[in-house]
A and B are shown apart, each in its own frame.
Chain A
Amino acid sequence: MAKILIVDDSLTSRKILKGILETAGHEIVGEAPDGVQGVDLYKKLQPDIVTLDITMPVMDGIGALKEIRDVDPDAKAIMVTAAGQKSKMVEAVKYGAAEFVAKPFDEDQLLEVVHRVVEG
Chain B
Amino acid sequence: MFGSYFGHYLTEQGIITADQMTEVMQAQKSARVKVGLLAVASGLLTEQQADKINMLQQKMDKRFGDIAVEQGYLTEEQVQELLDKQGEDYSTFVQTMVDKGIMTLSELTEKVEEFKEAGGYSDAELEALKSGDIDRIVPIFMKEPALSRLHKEYAAVVMRSILRFIDTDIRMEHIEKLKPFQGICGVEQKMFGDQMLYTGIFGDKPAILDIASTFGGEDFTEVNAESLDAVAEFLNVNNGLYVTAMSGEWIELDLEPPMMYPEQKTISSEGIAYRIQVYLSGKKVNIVFSLNTDVSVD
Most buried by B among A9, A82, A103, A109: A82
Determine whether the beta carbon of B55 is less than 8 Å from that of A103.
no
Determine whether the beta carbon of A57 is less than 8 Å from that of B240.
no
Interface residue? A12 (CB, 8 A): yes
Determine whether the beta carbon of A9 is less than 8 Å from that of B240.
no
Residues of chain A within 8 A of B233, CB atoms compared: 10, 12-13, 103
A86-B252, A106-B58 as given contacts; A10 in contact with B244, CB under 8 Å = no
Interface string of B233-252 (1 = CB under 8 A from A): 10011011111100100001
What is the CB-to-nearest-CB distance from B102 to chain A, in angstroms, rounded to a whole number?
Answer: 37
- Rounded to whole angstroms, the CA-CA distance of A40 and B247 in the bound complex is 34
- Interface set, chain A 74-120, CB cutoff 8 A to B: 81-88, 102-104, 106, 108-109
- Rounded to whole angstroms, the CA-CA distance of A70 and B39 in the bound complex is 50
Residues of chain A within 8 A of B32, CB atoms compared: none
Determine whether the beta carbon of A85 is less than 8 Å from that of B253.
yes
Dominant SS among interface residues on chain B: helix
- Rounded to whole angstroms, the CA-CA distance of A99 and B190 in the bound complex is 26
- Interface set, chain B 237-276, CB cutoff 8 A to A: 237, 239-244, 247, 252-257
Q: Which residue of B lies closest to A56 (CB)?
A: B257
A82-B239, A86-B247, A104-B58 as given contacts; A11 in contact with B229, CB under 8 Å = yes
Determine whether the beta carbon of A85 is less than 8 Å from that of B243.
yes
Residues of chain B within 8 A of A51, CB atoms compared: none
Count contacts between A and B, CB distance < 8 Å: 73
Determine whether the beta carbon of A83 is less than 8 Å from that of B244.
yes
Most buried by B among A11, A108, A109: A11
Interface residue? A1 (CB, 8 A): no
Interface residue? A16 (CB, 8 A): yes
Q: Which residue of B lies closest to A88 (CB)?
A: B254
Determine whether the beta carbon of B229 is less than 8 Å from that of A12.
yes
Determine whether the beta carbon of B217 is less than 8 Å from that of A16.
yes
A82-B237, A82-B255, A85-B252 as given contacts; A109 in contact with B55, CB under 8 Å = yes
Interface residues of B (CB under 8 A from A): 51, 55, 58-59, 165, 215-217, 225-226, 229-230, 232-233, 236-237, 239-244, 247, 252-257
Would you list the 7 A-B pairs with minimal beta carbon distance, nearest first? A82-B240, A83-B240, A83-B243, A84-B244, A12-B233, A57-B257, A106-B55
A–B complex contacts, Cβ < 8 Å, 18 sampled: A10-B229, A11-B225, A12-B215, A12-B232, A55-B256, A82-B236, A82-B239, A83-B239, A83-B243, A83-B253, A84-B243, A84-B247, A85-B247, A87-B252, A87-B254, A88-B254, A102-B59, A104-B237
Further contacts, 12 of them, CB under 8 A, given A55-B256, A82-B243, A83-B242: A10-B236, A12-B226, A12-B230, A13-B233, A15-B216, A82-B240, A83-B239, A83-B240, A84-B247, A85-B255, A104-B237, A108-B51
